[in-house]
Amino acid sequence: MPIATVNPTTGRTLLSFDALDAAGVERCLALAARTAATYRRTSFAERSALLERAADLLEAEAEDVARTMTVEMGKPLAAARAEAAKCVKAMRWYAARAESLLADEHPTDADVRDAGASAVRVRYRPLGVVLAVMPWNFPLWQVVRFAAPALMAGNVGLLKHSSNVPQTALYLGDLFQRAGFPQGCFQTLLIGSGPVEGILRDPRVAAATLTGSEPAGRAVASVAGDEVKKTVLELGGSDPYIVMPSADIARAARTAVTARVQNNGQSCIAAKRFIVHTDVYEEFARLFTDGMRALTVGDPMEESTDVGPLATESGRADVEELVDDAVRHGATVLCGGRRPPGRPDGWFYEPTVLADVTPQMRVDLEETFGPVATLYRVDSLDEAVERANRTPFGLSSNVWTREDSDLERFVAELEAGGIFVNGMTASHPALPFGGVKRSGYGRELSGHGIREFCNITTVWEAAEQG
């Protein structure tokens, strides 16, 4: 895949970039290793001041950055602005809290005595150089939610970003440098997927984090496992959105529209499978379909646009294949199901609702990375849980109910890294983020996220001998 900005609204290539050669990669690795040896000794106060400066720069440049993201991957401009603001928030959150999140831990006096020590503490120390392999769908946020905690923990980062968002990738490397971080603390590597294995096998790289597809996660995890290196993986999702009879159906349907088409439907944590109790199925299906049909598909630079193009031509082709396969096997198209008429350029696809979905259809188990929703009718809570868990993924989930007994069952039995009740899934710096099953492992954000790339070190001091 060429390293280039290709505007998905028009399909035109705007800028192309040469990939970093082997000598350039070596220079970056050597610099990262040298910087890691000294940066780990900086204080939390020093790191905090640097990250606050990066947040200030990003906040001042947010409009330009948002426009770059929209040009490169097609998200509506309003969503791009919100993404930039979210990154500023996360930087400041970690700048303010990292020291307390990584403070030494002390066992009880009784446990210290029982361990035969005069003192014991647990210290969190940085691992060193961390390779981040990041996707295009949230090209700023996905990187910052790794970089902010990793840098505050004393690690340094190497970014291999998706090849279709090179300008955003270069901006991120430049941002941390202009903020005053030591040279080599955070470097963008303009490379394709080929050199990733060699970089990950390099002994100067301590660990890796990847957000992306399941095949990409398998590849990175396989190499890291062979090298016995720590990884955090955030992969695909096919999140259930369960609506029970006690729910506020009108609000659930309105929220469902946003939950499905956020980021043009290209979000791992977007709700994708809408599992609705038969008692309220007809009402929900009508309101939800009306809401999806009413969305404005168009130029993402226009303020009135709700849904822009898909980021890549191949991505739209994947969505079309899944929908066409479902229709061939008997699915009912309640709205959408085609490219919008009158838009010959760009990679647009109409917001789509499919009903009568069966296990014979690929869309029943595969992740649909576009504005396509599948509707399921269930007769009971037991069936809702079974349907929700009948997927290889387990990233997040959404539950709409006002019954405490329903909620306790869902919390106990849903196989997901998150359960959002009477609302849609969202990420926040204070909340751990990640999944189970084929959605990956490890956690980002919160205290859990900053500790993922730390050496959790036990310090034991002998008791004095009488």
Residues annotated as catalytic are 234, 268
Q: Which tokens sit at 277?
A: 């109790």
Rounded distance between C-alpha atoms, residue 235 and residue 57, angstroms: 30
Name the helix (H) or strand (E) containing 412.
Answer: helix 404-413
Q: Which tokens sit at 289?
A: 């379909």
Give, in degrees to the nearest 5, the angle at Cα 25 between 21 and 29.
170
Contact between 271 and 426 (Cβ < 8 Å): no
In 3D space, the residue among 371, 427, 75, 424 whose CA is nearest the CA of residue 253 turns out to be 424
Rounded distance between C-alpha atoms, residue 344 and residue 350, angstroms: 13
In 3D space, the residue among 189, 183, 187 whose CA is nearest the CA of residue 162 turns out to be 189
In 3D space, the residue among 172, 206, 149 whose CA is nearest the CA of residue 33 turns out to be 206
360: Cβ contacts below 8 Å, ≥ 6 apart: 329
Judge residue 329's burial from the number of C-beta atoms within 10 Å of its C-beta, 0-12 exposed, 13-18 middle, 19 or more buried.
middle
Q: Which tokens sit at 233?
A: 């993986």
Rounded distance between C-alpha atoms, residue 403 and residue 384, angstroms: 15
Rounded distance between C-alpha atoms, residue 83 and residue 70, angstroms: 11
Rounded distance between C-alpha atoms, residue 109 and residue 297, angstroms: 63
